[in-house]
Structure 1
Amino acid sequence: MSIEFDIRLSDHRTPADERERLLENPGFGQIFTDHMITIRWDAEHGWHDARLEAYAPLTLDPATAVFHYAQELFEGLKAYRRADDGSIVAFRPYANAARFNASCERMAMPPVPEETFVRSLELLVDADRDWVPTQEGHSLYLRPFIIATQRGLGVNSPSSSYLFIVIASPSAAYFTGGIKPVSVWLSEEYTRAAPGGTGAAKCGGNYAAAFVAQAQAVKEGCDQVVWLDANEHRWVEEMGGMNLFFVYGSGAEARVMTPSLTGTLLPGITRDSLLKLAPDLGVPAAEGRISTDQWREGNASGELTEVFACGTAAVITPVGRVKSAKGEWLIGSGEPGPVTMRLREELVGIQYGDRPDPYGWIHKIA
């Protein structure tokens, strides 16, 4: 059963000249479009009261469950304006819908029908199509999320009501002035997720728990934190909110490996895309595991030649230097490697329409 949306266009849209000024340098996650999507759920009605409405603050009771028990989660994806025909597309939105619902299952929240999830994106982007940037490398970041809205402080069961929302934010190119490799700190003191926990769910609590380790990384002179397994603190899992890939060998002998999904890692959409794309470019790809000692030793021997992280915001981020309490080392020359850049160029090309899309990943939404 499809959900009908009540379309309530804003009477106070941002003037065109002001919008263009904001789009010149939007940064990331600081500017928001004129509208949002809201859909409510309760046990009696299921998903209902679906609206496209003006972007506005939410009014919630201080005893609302999300504030006290953190029952919430989110997704992130982008809409791109194609240079060839001006059409607006999204990258694998149904994959985001599936991951959103997998997170819902883990957090005891009602799933959003995939067609409704994608339709929400289409309606919002269509209403705010003028906010989709035209500059090369810029995009419209879409943030679907869901929160528990039951009023009360009982902790014996999940909330009895929820609110699903989609907002949009124009974003600039993640890299300016060239692609700069990041330095990473191996966190042996803190843990992002443990087996049986919420590591595979895209819930805010995972990110909140990461802030202290990220602050430690910055204190140690690094850009990002790398998470290790909870049991032994030696097996590499992911970097901040991004998945990691390791490149072994070079030239025709190059191959890539990414840590296996163990329930403690986020199953990234970009990660999954690269596992499919790399072999088609002649670079074998596999899932496996690597310890911190193997990382250092592989780098020292020359067997491990490149490392990069991947995710929605930056697509692919080269890793150039590693630091831990035991020492530090450069990866290769410390500069972006050829495999990293080739994969990035191909994936970005598919997203913006400069490369063919044999996988059906591109979804026209406006």
Structure 2
Amino acid sequence: MPSTPNKPSTINYSPSTPKSKKILVTGTAGFIGFHLAKKLLERGDEVVGLDNINDYYDVNLKYARLAELGIQKKSLIPNHYTLSTKFPLHKFYKVDLEDTKAINHIFETEQFDAVVNLAAQAGVRYSIENPHAYIQSNVVGFLNILEACRNYGVKNLSYASSSSVYGLNESQPFKTTDKTDTPISLYAATKKSNELMAHTYSHLYGIQTTGLRFFTVYGPWGRPDMAPMLFADAISNDRAIKVFNHGKMSRDFTYIDDIVDGVIKVIDNPSDYSVYNIGNNAPVSLMEFIETLEDALGKKAEKNFMDMQPGDVESTYADTQDLMNDFGYKPDTKLVDGIGEFVKWYKGFYKSEE
């Protein structure tokens, strides 16, 4: 695939509070989608949430996130909306992205000002085991979103891409001008496909599309298949943690509040086709991350050092200069503080489940 240039039109970013909008956020039972929906609702936007609540990981965590938004499990009916009991301007649809008829009905009925597509089949390693799920959700599902935006007049679309699109690229920090032609997982390939599809719809139909390449997001309500949760669960329950590539790895860990702040800036200031890195711009070694987590938990980890996993990369590092220049984006959460907040939530949430 050819590398897609990332030169957005000039953006006149204004930090002033925008008028409230009606926004579709897909993936609101997920980690980032939940936090984004909550933040938008708290500032007064009308938010329509959408998720299929699949069982890729523990659905109880997904239902618990929805409950925080006032969406009760017992009220859910597939392909119908449920009203929030906490936020008067929130409703939720339990729907598959690949259900073309249902997606079109929602767009026709709701008439959105903006759409944020965060719903996707996630996970690099799972894409090796179940590739069809990624094509259906991430490619067919994203096409449905693009077509619905075109057919129902939505010109403001933001969507989740991923740092995994950089694949075997060895130049760091990763820049959006770097080639992304060497993905090493199907998940990464589907995210690169999303960027190319968005470019096509921006060019043909004038939809303002902004892709955000997320870099290792962590924090309260995080995903159980990601390192913070895997490590915290193992350490808390006296199990050894798996340390891949013998600990010689680093990640641009980015706290969830910093991510949401960047996404909202993009929603409020749409531009012509663009793709941005959204990360902390400060990679942390895996061993430092583990030590910080150990300190927060007050417990040392037993470590099993292992070889690199298929589809994984040794290091990620985001160049976020474009996002900073265009939107004033500057993450400011220190790792020790972010891990502290994560551990506080982790202990409270899983203790309450016992």
TM-score (norm 1): 0.23
Is the strand fraction higher in 1 or 2? 1
Rg larger for: 1
